[in-house]
Amino acid sequence: MSYEKVQEPVDVVIAFHRDRPEPMMFRWGKQYYQVQKVNLVHTEHIGREKIYFFSVSDAVNAYRLSFRTESLQWRLEEMRAL
C-alpha cells in the first residue's frame, strides 16, 4: 500500500445531503477525482478555527480532505492507494 502526505490546496465540488456537506469531486493540479464514497467525517479545533476532515475514496485511492472555516480553504491532506 502506498501512502503520500500531500498538504496542497484543492478545488472541491460539494452537495448537501441531509443538511450536511458532502464532497462529490475535487481537482488537484490539472487532474479531477470523482468521490465515490465518504467514509468518515470529523472535526478538530486549532485555536478558534474549526477544521472539517473528510475521508473519501474512489475505486483506487483513499483521500483525506480538509476544510478550514476561517480561511474557507480546502486542502488535500493525504492519499493512500487501496
Domain extent listing, the chain: 3-81
Enter the pTM of the model: 0.94
Residue type, 60: V
Those residues with Cβ within 8 angstroms of residue 27's Cβ, 6 or more apart along the chain or in another chain = 10, 11, 12, 33
Distance in angstroms (rounded) separating the CA atoms of residues 78 and 72: 19
One digit per residue, the tens of pLDDT, for the chain of length 82 reads 699 999 999 999 999 988 889 999 999 999 999 999 999 999 999 999 999 999 999 999 999 999 999 999 999 999 999 9
C-alpha cell at 23: 464532497
